[in-house]
């Protein structure tokens, strides 16, 4: 069993290993304004750090289908010295799951999608996509930039 | 028995396609042995960083099946935005699952209802006239055959490389 952080993004569930999670932040907080630099949008963090904002919804169905920016939260994840803020619909929650039971993606999915989604946990009719943070950070490097909300 | 079937005809499933460089009605033909089930709309789980023609995965009888949009697959310059669909067609491909030896299945989205028609053996032999396919289909790397039948242009596609994840290699070979 592994402890995972489960985030709802749009109508879908994603899970990352809890160790990667640095925190949760409120979107559209008047005190913290995202900054645009070289086509990427960053969320300022304490201690001079910053997280690149990644809109997972836009990675799935194009920039036109970004999550509405007025509500929601950021899931802030960290890998080595890199931070990423994933837009999510709710606050997310901690769950325990047996990741060895995760189903692999069908073989039609290869390349980046297979690197980012390492497996799918099936719970009745719900699916939880297991995210590899390193691959997602790499994917955000080539993803189309998102505009400031 | 086979003779009876021959007389009665074969059920075919015709899925309308939008092909950018064709002004006529183009349909993709699936035979009754290929079509497992036609489903109404249900949630499709989208997968980040996947090609535009792969719309996500669908949980079908405890298996995850890839959901394919044929218009995005055949028109490579389309935007690939998520579009509503009316039906989901579960199909059996010719590719085999290496682990189970079973045919790999996939789901094809249909933006309008799939037409179901019975075609007799005689009609199969006479009414389907081989014709030149639009270039986007010719260059898709998936075309098995292209025919004119009454007012329709009928495309027969090979989706095996798509479900096997070897489509991009096939496409490269076609273009070289």
pLDDT beyond 80 at B3: no
Q: Does A138 touch chain B (CB under 8 A)?
A: no
Distance CA B23, CA B27 (A): 12
**Which residues are CB-contacts of A129 (< 8 A; sequence separation ≥ 6)?**
A12, A13, A14, A15, A117, A119, A120, B45, B47
- Structure confidence at residue B41 (pLDDT): 92
User: Is A116–B48 a contact, with Cβ atoms under 8 angstroms apart?
Assistant: yes
- Structure confidence at residue A145 (pLDDT): 46
Minimal-distance CA residue of chain A relative to B79: A62
| Backbone torsions φ then ψ of A112, nearest 5 degrees | -60, -40
- Structure confidence at residue A64 (pLDDT): 58
pLDDT beyond 60 at A39: yes
| For residues A30-39, average pLDDT | 84
Split at pLDDT 50, 70, 90, the class of B176 is low
Write the residue in A11, A59, A110 that is nearest to B48 by C-beta.
A59
ipTM of the complex: 0.87
Q: Does B162 touch chain A (CB under 8 A)?
A: yes
pLDDT tens digits for B68-120? 999 999 886 666 667 789 999 999 999 998 888 999 999 999 999 999 999 88
Split at pLDDT 50, 70, 90, the class of A11 is confident
Longest dimension (CA), chain A: 45
User: Is A60–B46 a contact, with Cβ atoms under 8 angstroms apart?
Assistant: yes
Give the start-to-end residue ranges of the domains of chain B.
2-175
Closest among A70, A87, A105, A64 to A10, alpha carbons compared: A87
| For residues B148-162, average pLDDT | 93
CATH 2.40.50.180 fits domain B2-175: yes
Spatial strand order in the sheet of B103-110: B35-39, B87-96, B103-110, B63-68, B54-60
User: Is A125–B59 a contact, with Cβ atoms under 8 angstroms apart?
Assistant: yes
Shortest distance between the Cα of A62 and any Cα of chain B, in A, equals 6
Mean pLDDT of chain A: 86
- Give B-chain residues touching A87 at CB under 8 angstroms: none
pLDDT beyond 90 at B28: yes
Q: Are A87 and A67 in contact (CB under 8 A)?
A: yes
User: What is the value of pTM for the model shown?
Assistant: 0.88
| For residues A56-76, average pLDDT | 73
Q: Are B157 and B143 in contact (CB under 8 A)?
A: yes
- Give B-chain residues touching A127 at CB under 8 angstroms: 45, 57, 59, 64
Q: Does A123 touch chain B (CB under 8 A)?
A: no
Give the start-to-end residue ranges of the domains of chain A.
2-142
Strand partners for B137: none
DSSP H helical ranges for chain A: 56-61, 112-116, 133-142
């Amino acid at each position: 069993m592994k402890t995972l952080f489960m985030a709802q993004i749009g109508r879908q569930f994603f899970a990352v290993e809890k160790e990667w999670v640095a925190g949760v932040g409120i979107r559209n907080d008047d005190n913290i304004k995202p900054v645009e630099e070289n086509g990427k949008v960053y969320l300022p963090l304490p201690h001079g750090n910053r997280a690149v904002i990644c809109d997972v919804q836009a990675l799935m169905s194009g920039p036109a289908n970004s999550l509405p920016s007025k509500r929601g939260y950021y899931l802030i994840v960290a890998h080595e010295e890199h931070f990423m803020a994933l837009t999510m619909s709710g606050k997310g929650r901690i769950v325990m799951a047996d990741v060895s039971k995760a189903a692999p993606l069908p073989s039609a999915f290869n390349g980046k999608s297979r690197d980012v989604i390492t497996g799918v946990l099936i719970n009745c009719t719900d699916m939880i996509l297991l995210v590899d943070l390193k691959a997602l950070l790499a994917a955000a490097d080539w993803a189309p930039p998102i505009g400031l909300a | 028995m086979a003779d009876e079937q021959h007389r009665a005809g074969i059920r075919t499933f015709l899925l309308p396609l939008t092909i950018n460089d064709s002004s006529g009605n183009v349909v993709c033909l699936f035979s009754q042995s290929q079509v497992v089930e036609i489903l109404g709309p249900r949630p499709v789980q989208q997968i980040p960083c996947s090609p535009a023609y792969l719309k996500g995965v669908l949980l079908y009888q405890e298996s995850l099946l890839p959901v394919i949009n044929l218009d995005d697959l055949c028109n490579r310059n389309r935007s690939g935005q998520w579009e509503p669909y009316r039906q989901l067609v579960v199909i059996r491909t010719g590719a085999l699952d290496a682990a189970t030896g079973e045919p790999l299945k996939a789901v094809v989205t249909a933006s309008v209802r799939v037409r179901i028609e019975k075609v007799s053996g005689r009609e199969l032999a006479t009414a389907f006239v081989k014709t030149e396919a639009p270039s986007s289909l010719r260059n898709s790397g998936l075309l098995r055959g292209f025919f004119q039948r009454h007012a329709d242009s009928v495309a027969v596609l090979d989706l095996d490389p798509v479900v096997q994840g070897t489509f991009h290699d096939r496409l490269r070979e076609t273009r070289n």
